[in-house]
Structure 1
Amino acid sequence: MVSCKVEVPVVNVKSREEFEALIYCNRKPAVIRGFDLGPAPQLWTADYLRGACGDTPVKVHVCPTPKMDFISKNFAYKTLPFNQFVTRASKAVQDEFFFEKDEKYYLRSLGNNPRKDVADFSQDWPQLSKDITLPHFFDEANYFSSVFRVSSAQLQLWTHYDVMDNLLVQVVGKKRAVLYAPNEVHNLYLEGDKSAVLDIDNPDVDKYPLFSQAVAHECLLQPGDILFIPALWFHNITSLEFGVAINVFWRHLHKGFYDTKDPYGNKDPLPAQRAIQAVERALKLLNELPDTYKDFYARRLVSTIESNSYTK
């Protein structure tokens, strides 16, 4: 049994004012159509990308299966010239390969210094940025990063959440996006910020019995579509075809809530980090007690959290 599904609404939006009035105030996902991205959706064929970016080296994920799992790390990082990477990512069967002839490839662009610099598409990929107009539906002071993504057909990324709002700008190829609201956290079997349920269409009901209660918000993204993903909304993305996309992230909270040493922008807000650490310390303390007492006080902690007014 799979979760209940609802369709993500499609809204025609051309400006920041329309985005704020029709979408942003609701704090729910929406597919944006009608925004003019420029020539990129028609221009960025595999041949064009190879010619524009040449043999620039890129670090990519290579996965022997279509379902990438960041918990089990069922992939490897490999460095390839960009033109060779695009050739492989745009093919279903490889002449040269690392693991399997039908292995999948995925690029998540990084900053010049991955340990310090955030990804910025316009600076990092100037040979492509001239072809596209990205939406800026937010205060520029809150801008964080813009991430260039290229993926093989049928590649599915694990279900996870981000701590910042973002726009997934689908430039080339079709994608399937499945999202879950933040209040579904109990049904998604989290390990950190990622769901342990890898196959969301055919989950192991014995291992993940609550997953069938989660409501899935689903949409099909066409080239030129833009998906608004609010902070803390879980999302699972499948490239149905060779795909090129750009994520634009911005801060929803005050800048002081975010970790300044986080170039990926995926660490929990600082108060949340401290709260999680406090819970982990509490659990270690409870382990000193006999099982009956440990179970009682663990349930009491959960009851305290659930009964607190700010969770209602």
Structure 2
Amino acid sequence: MSQQASIKEIANCHPGDIPDFVFSSSEPLVLRDFAADWPVVKEAQKSSKHAADYLRGLYRGNPVFACYGPPENNGRVFYNEQMNGFNFQGSKVDLNLVLDKLFEQAAQQNPPTLYVSSTEINSVLPQFNRLNNAGLDSLNPLTSIWLGNQTRIAAHYDFPHNLACCIAGRRRFTLFPPEQVANLYVGPMELSPGGQDISLVDIDNPNFDTYPKFKQALDASLTTELAPGDALFIPSMWWHHVAGLEDFNALITHWWRDTPAYLGRPEAALELAILSLRSLPDAQRKAWQSLFEHYVFEPDLQKDAHIPADAKGMLTLPLDLPNAKKIRAGLLNKLKV
């Protein structure tokens, strides 16, 4: 297997004191000791049990969705063999029960997989963000907690930017640039373990006979390990595989986008393009590709300079709320069958 490059690291970066270049970076950045002063991290420095007890003290009883996988999964959260379901079972349970089970299983050589993913922090730990704040409130991020044992989460991408803060245990991140999608062997779009398209390659034991182009993805990949207090900035659309390395691992993510929510999610545009364009004859697809390059992927105010400003409509750049509403209403009407 190829040697993966390390992610660039930034020192002396703390909540409320993040340089602008971090947020504008097109590549991942590690912020060492970013959250070292958070109370939860200070407890984790004592022990994982102290960190878990700190979370218990903030918990207010709302159930969390927990995933359970048998020992033979070796921590991998993935599909079943038929790819018509998953290799784990999930249910809503009390967070205390999950924490109890994690520590009960800690002594086992190959324990079952226990995993709580992407749980909005205010719904279960309403005081956590006030006491352990990343200083991103102006960005209005969606803040979530992830915890479990030695889990392995397949490479996937997220549309929002992400500042991921390790608060207990250690996690290894392996990241791939967006342009590596063709080398990652992505699974079905309609069904995935976490609701987001994932790579089918087992990064810890890649089958290069089945997935030969994955070697190219590995050559382009970056990797890092986070300890309690470390943070990782993951730019929008970067694929990332995440592995928990200890018996108890906890992570806080902060997701935000650069554009207003009224512009919608780009995934909707992709699905509509698959519906409308993917099955067209080759010549027609190429023609539409030229139109997309002109109007979408290479927008330029000068291209539309010949159109009066008041007449630009959906070509207004950046797109404003009134025109966004018109486009949305028009699409809803056109999609009626």
Which TM-score applies when normalising by structure 2?
0.70
Which amino acid in the other structure matches residue 69 of structure 1? Answer: F
Matched, 1:106 2:115: yes
Tell me how far 1:251 sits from its aligned partner: 1.4
Q: SS state of the match for residue 276, structure 1?
A: helix
Is the Cα–Cα contact under 8 Å of residues 60 and 124 in structure 2 kept in the other structure?
A: no
Matched, 1:222 2:235: no
Matched, 1:180 2:189: no
1:105-144 deviation line (CA, Å, top 9, x unaligned): 111254xxxxxxxx2x2464135445x422134x72x424
Q: Which has the higher helix share?
A: 2
Corresponding residue number in structure 2 for 1:155: 151
Matched, 1:257 2:263: yes
Is the Cα–Cα contact under 8 Å of residues 171 and 223 in structure 1 kept in the other structure?
A: yes
Corresponding residue number in structure 2 for 1:274: 269
Matched, 1:24 2:33: no
Tell me how far 1:253 sits from its aligned partner: 2.1
| In structure 1, distance between residues paired with 2:223 and 2:103 | 25
Q: SS state of the match for residue 135, structure 1?
A: coil
Is the Cα–Cα contact under 8 Å of residues 201 and 211 in structure 2 kept in the other structure?
A: no
Which 5+ residue runs of structure 2 have no aligned equivalent?
Answer: 44-49, 190-195, 299-337
Which TM-score applies when normalising by structure 1?
0.75
Corresponding residue number in structure 1 for 2:209: 206
Is the Cα–Cα contact under 8 Å of residues 166 and 249 in structure 1 kept in the other structure?
A: yes
In terms of mean alpha carbon deviation, does 198-207 or 173-182 score higher? 198-207
1:27-75 deviation line (CA, Å, top 9, x unaligned): 2111112434422113243344345537653221112221111665211
| In structure 1, distance between residues paired with 2:53 and 2:168 | 13
Is the Cα–Cα contact under 8 Å of residues 89 and 104 in structure 1 kept in the other structure?
A: no
| In structure 2, distance between residues paired with 1:276 and 1:282 | 10
Tell me how far 1:231 sits from its aligned partner: 0.8
Is the Cα–Cα contact under 8 Å of residues 186 and 197 in structure 2 kept in the other structure?
A: yes
For this pair of structures, how many residues does the alignment match? Answer: 270
Is the Cα–Cα contact under 8 Å of residues 161 and 255 in structure 2 kept in the other structure?
A: yes
Which amino acid in the other structure matches residue 83 of structure 1? Answer: N
Tell me how far 1:85 sits from its aligned partner: 0.6
Corresponding residue number in structure 2 for 1:170: 166
In structure 2, relative to structure 1, the CA distance for the partners of 1:165 and 1:84 (3 Å cut) is same
| In structure 2, distance between residues paired with 1:46 and 1:15 | 22
| In structure 2, distance between residues paired with 1:209 and 1:302 | 28
Is the Cα–Cα contact under 8 Å of residues 56 and 81 in structure 1 kept in the other structure?
A: yes
In terms of mean alpha carbon deviation, does 168-177 or 186-195 score higher? 186-195
In structure 2, relative to structure 1, the CA distance for the partners of 1:305 and 1:189 (3 Å cut) is farther
1:11-42 deviation line (CA, Å, top 9, x unaligned): 02125554313x22222111112434422113
Matched, 1:83 2:96: yes
Corresponding residue number in structure 2 for 1:41: 41
Corresponding residue number in structure 2 for 1:145: 142
Matched, 1:14 2:14: yes
Tell me how far 1:210 sits from its aligned partner: 0.9
Corresponding residue number in structure 1 for 2:126: 126
Structure exhibiting the larger radius of gyration computed from Cα positions? 2
Q: SS state of the match for residue 155, structure 2?
A: coil
| In structure 2, distance between residues paired with 1:109 and 1:278 | 28
Q: SS state of the match for residue 232, structure 1?
A: coil
Corresponding residue number in structure 2 for 1:301: 285
Which amino acid in the other structure matches residue 233 of structure 1? Answer: W
In structure 2, relative to structure 1, the CA distance for the partners of 1:189 and 1:51 (3 Å cut) is same
| In structure 1, distance between residues paired with 2:39 and 2:9 | 22
Which 5+ residue runs of structure 1 have no aligned equivalent?
Answer: 96-100, 111-118, 259-267, 287-296
Which amino acid in the other structure matches residue 10 of structure 1? Answer: E
Corresponding residue number in structure 1 for 2:197: 194
Pairwise CA RMSD: 3.1
Is the Cα–Cα contact under 8 Å of residues 179 and 235 in structure 1 kept in the other structure?
A: yes
Tell me how far 1:308 sits from its aligned partner: 4.3
| In structure 1, distance between residues paired with 2:40 and 2:222 | 28
| In structure 2, distance between residues paired with 1:92 and 1:124 | 23
Tell me how far 1:3 sits from its aligned partner: 5.1
